[in-house]
Amino acid sequence: METPFETLDSTPFDMFYEHAKSVEKTVEHMLTAVTVASQGKDASKHIEATISAELDADHIKTDLRNHIGNGVRIAIGRDTFLHMLSRQDRIADYAQNVAEQISFRELMVDDQARDNLKIMAEAVHKTVEKYSEAVDQLNVLTQSGFAPMQMAVLNDLIMQVNILEHKADECESTAAAYVFSEGDDKPLAAMHMYRILQRLDDVANAAEKAANAFLPMLNK
C-alpha cells in the first residue's frame, strides 16, 4: 500500500533516535546525582557526568540540524522534525540544570524532604523512560512505513507519558508542601530544595511536550 511517507529518508530518524538515547543517559546521571545527594554524599562526579552527557546530546543535535540543513528530505516536514528535536533536547537541558542546582549548596537537612526529593526524581525518570519507549516506537513506526497499527501503539505511549508526567506533578506538590511547612527555620535551604523540585518538574514537563510533539505526525 502506498503511503505519503514512502520517500522518507530514514537517516534523520536514526540520528533522532541516537539523540534520544543520549538525552535519556543525561537524565539517568541526573537521577543518580539526586539520589546520592539526598543520601548526604558527594554527588560531584555524577553532576559532572550529567553535564558531560548533556554536552554529548548537544553535539548530536547540532550534527542532526546540519544534516537536515544540507537538503535531506523529511516527508513529515522539516519544521515538524526540528520542533520534535528541539522539544527532545529540552529534556537534557533541564536535567543538566537540576544537576547544577544540586551543586550550589547542600540539600535541606531533613530526611523526609530528601526522601520526597528522591521520590520526585524517580517519578521524573519514569516519565523520561516512557518517553524513550515512545522514541523506540517512533523508530519502529518509520521502518514500517507508518503502518496504522504502529501509529496506534505510539499514540498509546504518548498518552502514558502524559499520565506519568501528571504523577510527577503530584510528587512535586507533596514535596513542595512539605518543604514550605518545615522550612521556616531554614528558609535558604528550603528555597534551594524548592528550586530543585521545580527544575525536576521542568524535566518531566519537557518529556511530556516532546512526546506530544509527535502528535502532528500521527494526525496527518
Give the separation between CA 81 and CA 98, rounded to whole angstroms: 27
Give the pLDDT score at 36: 97
Give the separation between CA 120 and CA 169, rounded to whole angstroms: 8
Would residue 6 count as lying in a domain? no
Cβ–Cβ < 8 Å for 28, 129: no
pLDDT single digits (tens) 109-160: 999 999 999 999 999 999 999 999 999 999 888 888 889 999 999 999 999 9
Of the two residues 216 and 154, the one the predictor is more confident about is 154
Q: Which domain holds residue 59?
A: 11-218
Q: What separation in angstroms does the CA of 151 have from each of 137, 158, 167?
A: 9, 11, 25
Give the pLDDT score at 173: 97
Q: How confident is the model at residue 70 (pLDDT cuts 50, 70, 90)?
A: low
Among residues 127, 197, 190, 111, the alpha carbon closest in space to that of 159 is found at 127
Report field, pTM of the whole predicted structure over 0.85: yes
Tally of domains in the chain: 1
Would residue 198 count as lying in a domain? yes
Of the two residues 122 and 2, the one the predictor is more confident about is 122
Tracing cell 496504522 back to the chain, one arrives at: 148
Give the separation between CA 51 and CA 12, rounded to whole angstroms: 25
* CB neighbour burial string for 82-100, b if at least 16 within 10 angstroms, e if fewer: bebbebbbbbbbbbbbbbb
Percent of the residues in the chain that have a pLDDT greater than 90, as a whole number: 72
pLDDT single digits (tens) 12-66: 888 899 999 999 999 999 999 999 999 999 999 999 999 999 999 999 999 888 8
Give the pLDDT score at 69: 64
State the CATH number of the domain containing residue 25.
1.20.58.220
Would residue 43 count as lying in a domain? yes
Query: For the chain, how many residues are written?
Result: 220
Give the pLDDT score at 80: 84
Instruction: Cell numbers for 27, please give them.
Output: 537524565
The pLDDT of residue 207 is above 90: yes
Give the pLDDT score at 152: 95
The pLDDT of residue 96 is above 60: yes
Would residue 2 count as lying in a domain? no
Cβ–Cβ < 8 Å for 211, 134: yes
Would residue 44 count as lying in a domain? yes
Would residue 3 count as lying in a domain? no
Mean pLDDT (the chain) is 90
Beta carbons within 10 angstroms of residue 119's beta carbon: 16
* Local structure of 176: helix, strand or coil: helix
Among residues 65, 98, 69, the alpha carbon closest in space to that of 84 is found at 65
Give the pLDDT score at 184: 67
Give the pLDDT score at 182: 84
